[in-house]
Structure 1
Amino acid sequence: MQISEAIEGYLSHLADVRRLSAATVRAYRSDLSDLARASGDADLDEIDVETLREWQWDATTAGLSKATAARRTSAVKGFLSWAREEGMTDVDPAQRLVAPKRGRTLPTVATAPALSEVLTDAKEAARDGDPIALRDHALLELLYGSGARVSEICGLDVDDIDHERRTLRVRGKGDKERVVPYGRPAAEALHAYLVRGRPALSARGEHAGAAVFLGVRGGRLGPRAVHSVVSRTVAPAVGADSLGPHALRHSAATHLLDGGADLRSVQEILGHASLGTTQIYTHVSAERLREAYRLAHPRA
């Protein structure tokens, strides 16, 4: 069986059986399609460890990041392991591959005062009732106030909001569901948008459905549009050339720890499967610990 044919079966397995996110499946498709091209779409049995190592080396010389190279290795390991289990091939040369170690970089975090100023400006802009301004204010408040992923916010339906308890039911990676809280400022902005902004946007099209956040044509708002909103409003305020919605999630996690929240609670809010993923924010908050030591320890 040719690699390209097997790849389609594996991607279907990832989407339908393992329920991986659409973004992960797209990334794996890109990685494995590149392997198919590099090998001339050879038969699965013709793939050996040397072919895979050469493919890895091409990624390194092309200047791909360690994280991308590690993902490519993970993609091919999973693919060939699955192909062997399915009886498509008798060998699994990917078992001998070693993934490059990912470099751990600290996330970009905006300060609480800077974000407060951004949100105040967004609130002022929404006072005249413009539906887009109302939407953007609610969007920014909810991204920062809940720490949810942009895909989770874009996937919100009206019934996912518990206004009384101020919680959201979101669907994270692997289609796992969790409940996250949000604060009073986000609740007020969300209420104003749902009452005055969303109906106006919904009237512009016929594809709104149950989606909470809508675009200018009345359809469900997508991650690219959210990125544009954050980049336009938040990035200039924090002195960055560009900034994505994930920076608000990073900021929420860091500010929770700065305020005294325990690591397990932050892990639960963010929906991290591993506590180790959440622990990176303790490095961001190290300055808070140093300041506490300086102020409290007699020998500081």
Structure 2
Amino acid sequence: MTSIHPENLSVLENSLALAIGEDFSLENDPDVIQQLIGDKRSENTKREYQKDLKDFFLFVVKKEPSRDLVLEFLHLEQRHAVAVVLKYKAHLIKKKLAEATVNRRLSAIKSMVEMGRRLGVCNFSLDDVKGERVETYRDTTGIPATDYAKVIALVDQNTLKGKRDYAILRLLWDNGLRRNEIVNLNVRDFNAKEKTLSILGKGKGSQKEVLDLSDKTASSLASWIKASKKKRGDDPLFTVLAYHKNGARLTGEAIRRLVDGLCKQAGITKKMSPHRVRHSAITTVLDLNNGNYRATQRFSRHAQVQTVLKYDDNRQRLQKQMSDSISELI
């Protein structure tokens, strides 16, 4: 029989003495909200969850959420928990908040409960709490290309700010980018030789997708990068130019104000935003390709072609056509 070396015997004895799972023990009860926030990739999603859950607890118990307070809620019985959340929902509706806002706040609570169930500290579900019905993409028509041309013509491309703003406006139109997709861009994401841009698309996590750029958009990006003297690949592509925050990553709110201000200056009466520009670009693409849904879906990067159909319905005003046709029969 082979003898065991004393050192190996000591290691074996120590291993056998350990309680099962001791190396994986948690010192305290889990902080469910921190676990929930840590499970999300998007910084915007993290902020919204924290804000919405804070609003819920302030309404219910007049206190900001803490680990113990969250666990106290998660330990409620099913009927009690559902009653509390329904009371909060009624409060949101009474405040006349938009359906989408109500649903977002309920979603944050449901996600917290689901995380609690996964961590073994909650036994109820909120399946009985239904969200509000929302009609998505009601007005997707945007503005015509001729109006957007007036907007982009207002930018002075001879200035540093003008070069930056022109590049942003081209990305919003030529590629239908969302403002967060623009905000998250770094210098290395632009390939001047190939005329491509790598973006973090909506719902794609950390996986980037490569988009081809028009000659005008590629040229505008190259001009901005050269003028701003950006060299490091991990630098933000678009930055603040104000003296006290020079070099900081440009925010989505700054892009919204840029679009809103220029559109008003161009005499456009419709309320405009970066996403309205995206709507405009997608609708224009449908016009150019005579309603080719698949081609438009490649441009818009919508997960479902049904979303593109909604754009096309609004573009053609099908309901108006049918109403006019049936009206002529009487």
Question: How big is the shift at 1:50?
Answer: 0.9
1:221 to 250, 271, 274: 250
1:97 to 122, 129, 133: 129
Cα distance in 1 between the residues matched to 2:215 and 2:151? 17
Question: How big is the shift at 1:80?
Answer: 1.2
Q: Is the 8 A contact 1:28 1:75 kept in 2?
A: yes
Q: Is the 8 A contact 1:267 1:278 kept in 2?
A: yes
**Structure 1 stretches lacking a partner, 5+ long:** 292-300
Aligned to 2:236: 211
Aligned to 2:308: 278
Aligned to 2:145: 112
Aligned to 2:59: 38
Secondary structure of the residue aligned to 1:179 is strand
Aligned to 2:12: none
Question: How big is the shift at 1:159?
Answer: 1.9
Cα distance in 1 between the residues matched to 2:176 and 2:200? 13
Deviations 1:108-139 (A, max 9, x none): 612110111222332xx11xx31111111111
Q: Is the 8 A contact 1:143 1:249 kept in 2?
A: yes
Instruction: Confirm or deny that 1:183 pairs with 2:214.
Output: yes
Question: How big is the shift at 1:264?
Answer: 2.8
Deviations 1:231-288 (A, max 9, x none): 1212432523752211211111111111116323333333323333333311232159
Instruction: Confirm or deny that 1:247 pairs with 2:273.
Output: no
C-alpha change, 1:289 and 1:51, in structure 2 (3 Å) is closer
Return 152-161 or 175-184, whichever deviates more.
175-184
The letter of the residue matching 2:236 is A
Instruction: Confirm or deny that 1:267 pairs with 2:297.
Output: yes
C-alpha change, 1:109 and 1:235, in structure 2 (3 Å) is farther
C-alpha change, 1:281 and 1:190, in structure 2 (3 Å) is same
Question: How big is the shift at 1:88?
Answer: 0.8
2:102 to 62, 69, 79: 69
Aligned to 2:177: 148
Cα distance in 2 between the residues matched to 1:183 and 1:290? 35
Percent identity (aligned): 25
Deviations 1:69-115 (A, max 9, x none): 122222222221221121011222x1111111013321361211011
Question: How big is the shift at 1:219?
Answer: 2.3
C-alpha change, 1:268 and 1:26, in structure 2 (3 Å) is farther
Secondary structure of the residue aligned to 1:101 is coil
TM-score computed with the length of structure 1 as normaliser: 0.81
Aligned to 2:32: 6
State the Cα RMSD in Å. Answer: 2.8
Secondary structure of the residue aligned to 2:235 is coil
The letter of the residue matching 2:55 is D
Secondary structure of the residue aligned to 1:243 is coil
Cα distance in 2 between the residues matched to 1:290 and 1:185? 37
Question: How big is the shift at 1:171?
Answer: 0.3
Aligned to 1:84: 117
Cα distance in 2 between the residues matched to 1:254 and 1:166? 24
